[in-house]
Chains A and B, each alone.
Chain A
Amino acid sequence: MMMASALATAWAAVLVLLVQTTLLPYLRPIVGVTPNLVLVLAVYVGLRYPGALGALGVFMLGYFLDTFAGTTLGFQTLGLLLVFAIASLASSTVRTDSGGPLVVVVFAAGCFDALVEALLFGLGIGGTPPWLQVLGYGLGQAASAALLAPFVLRLVFWGEHIFGAE
């Protein structure tokens, strides 16, 4: 059962990465921000699989994202791993079987991720844009990711249905 459930999450990860790299970039000119669905997945994995395998999975997700976003290798990987670490600490208290709590946790995690990014930019790591703008963009990204969190959860449930993990 656990194996099927992990496969379902991996399946959702593949779909999320496809959507993130192909469709979501086209949203930026329309809504002003590109939602970070990979962040939702990192939170979900942290809540659901708080272990070494989950950490490795999130590391790979971050590395993949680093290939298609930004310029500094490891930037997204570090942010997602920190988000995963915090989510795994909260795994015993937050349920992942409904969208509501996940939306709240994803928003909080997105805000934390934005703070980490702004801090790194503020220190001159990853470029030198105004860190306040980075923070603003990150908060917008956190809100949009939180709104789309139920969609990611649906993808996972769909995967569980396919792999017989329900």
Chain B
Amino acid sequence: MFDFLRRNRFPLTLALLLVIAGGLVLSRSGNRVRNDTLGRLFLDGMAPIMRVATELTRTVAGVWNGITGAFQLRDQVRFLRRELREQKREVARLGELQLENERLRKLLSFRPEVETEVVTARVVGADALGLSRSLAIDRGTLDGVRKGAAVLAPEGVVGQVLLAGRHAARVLLITDHNSGVDGIVQRTRARGIVEGALGGGCGLKFVKRTERLEVGDLVVTSGMDGIFPKGLPIGRIASIDKRGQSLFQYATVEPTVDFGRLEEVLVARGSPVRLPPAIPEQ
């Protein structure tokens, strides 16, 4: 017996690992939150490195913008080129600071609208393979971030905490195909589910065919899913599809949040559903 195990160590190990991996896939499929210890350890271990890498990337982008700006001005102010380069570097640095300042101010002014306790987090990474839509943030359970918590931005809903480590967390964006947010069309109060699409946008499903939707209608959270506060903007309807004989119609939704430019977010800490903030129709 022992000899058999020793001789077939490789195929047996491989088979066992395949069974474990397959078991994990089958048991965890469809879960929108995770709580595996090893994953939390990996996330915590990588958090400081990701933070540094993100800072480096932003610095390089800032310097790159400065250099590009200097080249554009070269023909017009040739005699000031040298000084301009130095100024540009400084301007790029200050510009980054100013933009950050504006974003943080916006976040601060947004806080009172969300009637739940929130923590501000920095975005430090994106999905490692790109097929899913997720972000890494630099706040974890030690800061009060819990799995399943709502993640917001001043422009609207960002997503939900998928995995929370002690110092970092991963956020599943509303544009991910596994994501689902209970939403209502602000103008008509028609209810539906906003799901992510593989292309990066969202779709509004299960809206009754009799409801009159229009392109440009704002879709907001209904608050019925118990995760997101009611009335937060999700996106605007970009197109409507009533083809087929289904009872429901489908609409593509352009998210109000620009996920490519997201640098800071708010994570809800307390009870998720509170009083609805007033969101004026723009």
Contacts and interface: CB of A to CB of B under 8 A. Distances in A.
Contacts of B219: none
Given A22-B50, A33-B130, A125-B29, A68 B38 contact: no
A141 to B, nearest CB: 7
Given A68-B46, A74-B24, A78-B18, A127 B177 contact: yes
B21 A78 contact: yes
Given A21-B50, A68-B128, 4 more contacts: A28-B130, A63-B42, A68-B42, A69-B128
A64 interface: yes
Interface centre among A21, A23, A75 (most CB of B within 10 A): A21
Given A29-B260, A69-B128, A141-B129, A21 B46 contact: yes
B24 A67 contact: no
Interface stretch (A49-57, A100-108, A146-154, A157-165): A49-57
Interface centre among A23, A26, A52 (most CB of B within 10 A): A52
B21 A81 contact: yes
Contacts of A77: 21, 24
Interface residues of A, number: 55
Interface string B37-55: 0110011001001100110
A18 B151 CA distance: 26
Main secondary structure of the interface of A (DSSP, over half): helix
Contacts of A67: 38-39, 42-43, 163, 170
Interface in A64-86: 64-78, 81-82, 84-85
A21 B176 CA distance: 18
Interface string B9-22: 11001100110111
A38 to B, nearest CB: 8
Interface size class of B (residues with CB under 8 A): 35 or more
Interface of A: 18, 20-26, 28-29, 33-34, 36, 50-52, 55-56, 59, 62-78, 81-82, 84-85, 88, 117, 120, 124-130, 133-134, 137-138, 141
B131 A63 contact: no
B130 A34 contact: yes
B31 interface: yes
B226 interface: no
A127 B23 CA distance: 16
Contact of A72 (B31, B49, B170, B199): B31
B212 interface: no
A68 B125 contact: yes
A69 B132 contact: yes
A98 B178 CA distance: 40
B134 interface: yes
B33 to A, nearest CB: 9
Interface centre among A25, A51, A88, A126 (most CB of B within 10 A): A25
Contact of A52 (B13, B54, B131, B260): B13
A29 B259 CA distance: 11
B32 interface: yes
Nearest to B61: A26
B172 interface: yes
Contacts of A26: 57, 126
A76 B128 CA distance: 11
B108 to A, nearest CB: 28
Interface centre among A51, A59, A65, A70 (most CB of B within 10 A): A70
A64 B24 CA distance: 14
B28 interface: yes
B14 A73 contact: no
Contacts of A138: 131
